Amino acid sequence: MQRLIIQTEKPGVFITSLYNFITNHLAMKFIILLAAAFLAAACSAFSQELYVNTEPASNMATHSLGVRVENQGYFNLVYKNRSTLEFMYGASKDLMVHGSIYQSDYYQGQQHFEGGSVYAKYRFLSVDSVQSHFRGALFAKASSINNPVTNQEISLDGDNSGLQGGVVFTKLMHKLALSASASYLHAFDNTGDNHLPTANAANAVAYTLSAGYLLFPKTYQNYNQVNVNLYVELLGKNNPGYGQNYLDAAPAVQLIINSVFRIDLSYRTALWNDMQRTSNNTYLVRLEYNLFNLF
């Protein structure tokens, strides 16, 4: 009752609370609905591990190249967005590398080139059988970014210069694919005399949990059928010693055309957050094309 009175007295707060209530509950309903869909589909479908917001423990085929064009952004009074160009290459059967460059208007009034990152993943464990596997991989990432540091979140995807190292395990079963990762991040000062504020955490722990399954086709006839995959991913970060945490849910839909062209659509929203960062709600659109046996 007291809360209601306070809200009535401050219309701005009331609207914000109402907005948060609706968006949070809609997000929760959506997640519950997707979880139910997962369980229902688990009896009849094959799973997928071509995750949208994380990487699985599996790699790309040797000597194949993936090219990604990505845009993500948010509306928060004004519209801001970031574009990413990413190249992925299968160096050997166990090693793949990524290289990315970023551009956004997150920290400035107009779009500008922010810097880049490199990523490598080494698969060290493969326990495979027909239509199932359990795999483990180590990964590392390094980034060089020229933005001012205004966030408490350490992110190597355009926001911070830094290093990341971690481990990921992926279990593909006939009916469900699950993937979990844990990693450690360290931020440096950004380039262009953009220092990491002394009050900010320089280290963070990130963890993810992802699930996915193939909705269509129910039965394969050929390579040209459009595959529809659904994903739910949980993405969390913690700044140890600073009491700063967040946990996001990121449901995603994916289309794969001709078994080479991928379209990813995802909406990432905070389940809880007490960390200063760019946005609590972000959309993601990505196009990916795969070229096999390039070299």
Partner 1 sequence: MKTLKIFVAVLAISISVAHAQFTKAEVQVSGLTCSLCSKATEKSLRTLNFIGDIKADLNRNVFVITFKKDASVNLDQISKKVQNAGFFVNNLKATFNFDNVKLTDDYFNYAGDTYHIVNVTDKALNGPIALTVVDKGFAPAAVYKKYSNAAADNTNGKTGRIYHLAI
Nearest to partner 1 of 42, 271 (CB atom): 42
Residue 188's nearest CA partner among 203, 177, 173, 175 is 203
Per CB under 8 A, 43 contacts partner 1:
no
User: Euclidean distance between the first and final Cα of the chain, in Å?
Assistant: 69
Per CB under 8 A, 110 contacts partner 1:
no
Per CB under 8 A, 98 contacts partner 1:
no
Q: Which residues pair with 86 in a beta bridge?
A: 68, 100
Which distant-in-sequence residues (6+ apart) come within 8 Å of 262 by Cβ?
Answer: 50, 254, 255, 256, 286, 287, 288, 289, 290
Residue 209's nearest CA partner among 152, 250, 244, 240 is 250
Residues 168-187 that bind partner 1 (CB under 8 A): 172, 174
Member of 4, 99, 113, 128 binding partner 1 (CB under 8 A): 128
Per CB under 8 A, 156 contacts partner 1:
no
Torsion of CA 58, 235, 53, 216, to 10 degrees: 80
Q: How far is the CB of 45 from partner 1 (least distance, A)?
A: 10
Per CB under 8 A, 57 contacts partner 1:
no
Per CB under 8 A, 48 contacts partner 1:
yes
Per CB under 8 A, 276 contacts partner 1:
no
Residues 226-245 that bind partner 1 (CB under 8 A): 227
- Tell me how far CA of residue 170 lies from CA of 38, 126, 183, in angstroms: 17, 10, 15
Q: How far is the CB of 149 from partner 1 (least distance, A)?
A: 38
Residue 274's nearest CA partner among 238, 247, 245, 248 is 245
Per CB under 8 A, 295 contacts partner 1:
no
Q: Which residues pair with 262 in a beta bridge?
A: 256, 288
Q: How far is the CB of 146 from partner 1 (least distance, A)?
A: 35
- Applying CB under 8 A, the residues found at the interface with partner 1 are 46-48, 50, 58-64, 90, 92-93, 123, 126, 128-133, 172, 174, 214, 219-223, 225, 227, 256, 259-260, 262, 290, 292-293
